[in-house]
Copies of this chain bind each other. A is one copy, B any other.
Amino acid sequence: MNLPLHETIRARLEADILSGRLKPGEKLPNETDLAAEWGCARMTVGRALSALAEAGMVQRRKRAGTFVARRTVQETVLEIRDVAADVRASGRDYAFRRLARREAGASADEAAALGVPEGAPVLLVVGLHLADGEPHALEERLISLDAAPAAARMRFEDEPPGAWLLTHVPWTEAEHAITALAADGQTAKRLGIPVGSALLSLERKTWLSGACVTAARFLYPAGAQRFTARLRQPGGRREQA
């Protein structure tokens, strides 16, 4: 093995847990014993155990010891791409068409969505993402003009606001929520589908150091979009190039 010792120890314990040799809830040997077993310093096994704790595979409590975690929550890495990139990746032509644009003080709903006071200046843009000329997704986007004043100068007639925001407004946090819902009348008309059809909804909110910059909702007709996530559990995590 060329791996550093702490990685080797981590991998070994991980394998023991995955294989079931160490069962959920079971107590691991303490650091001192593990260090003796591996013939290394306590800090080295401590590092391995901390890494496992960080990854959620074990739980550590002072005085009590280190225990194999019971997995109730699985975390998977979900890649959320730009709509345009997504459409082009499938080999189709991409276009954006703005349907509405309104600059005004935030309504109660809008204020709540953005986390700004009612009446704060916001920009609302509704637009259609087209793939080969057919509706692919409907975007409803709110932008806080306090957080991103430069957006007020933009028309967003055939450029989606998401792409512009990505390159012009920095952000520190993002939150996504995925749900299914039935198409209401206006949405159905805009997407050219029957009223009540199943839609996949992706809501995205982004913040810049605590202040919400923009909230958007993307509505995809059933079948148009699919979010996939893949999780590799064991030692697979290697440095990226």
Contacts and interface: CB of A to CB of B under 8 A. Distances in A.
Interface of A: 18-20, 24, 56, 71-82, 85, 166-167, 170-182, 196-201, 208-209, 220, 222-223, 225-234, 236-240
B167 A240 contact: yes
A194 B198 CA distance: 12
Contact of A200 (B74, B78, B179, B231): B179
Given A166-B238, A173-B230, A175-B230, 17 more contacts: A73-B82, A73-B85, A74-B80, A75-B77, A76-B77, A76-B79, A167-B239, A171-B236, A174-B230, A175-B231, A179-B222, A179-B225, A179-B226, A180-B199, A180-B200, A180-B222, A197-B198
20 contacts: A18-B171, A56-B240, A71-B166, A72-B82, A73-B80, A73-B81, A73-B85, A73-B240, A74-B81, A166-B238, A166-B240, A167-B238, A175-B228, A175-B229, A176-B228, A176-B230, A177-B228, A178-B229, A182-B197, A198-B199
A60 to B, nearest CB: 9
A167 B198 contact: no
Nearest to A51: B54
Nearest to A205: B230
A13 to B, nearest CB: 14
Residue with the greatest number of chain B CB neighbours at <10 A, chosen from A24, A71, A171, A222? A171
A82 B72 CA distance: 6
Given A170-B236, A181-B222, A77 B74 contact: no
A180 B238 CA distance: 31
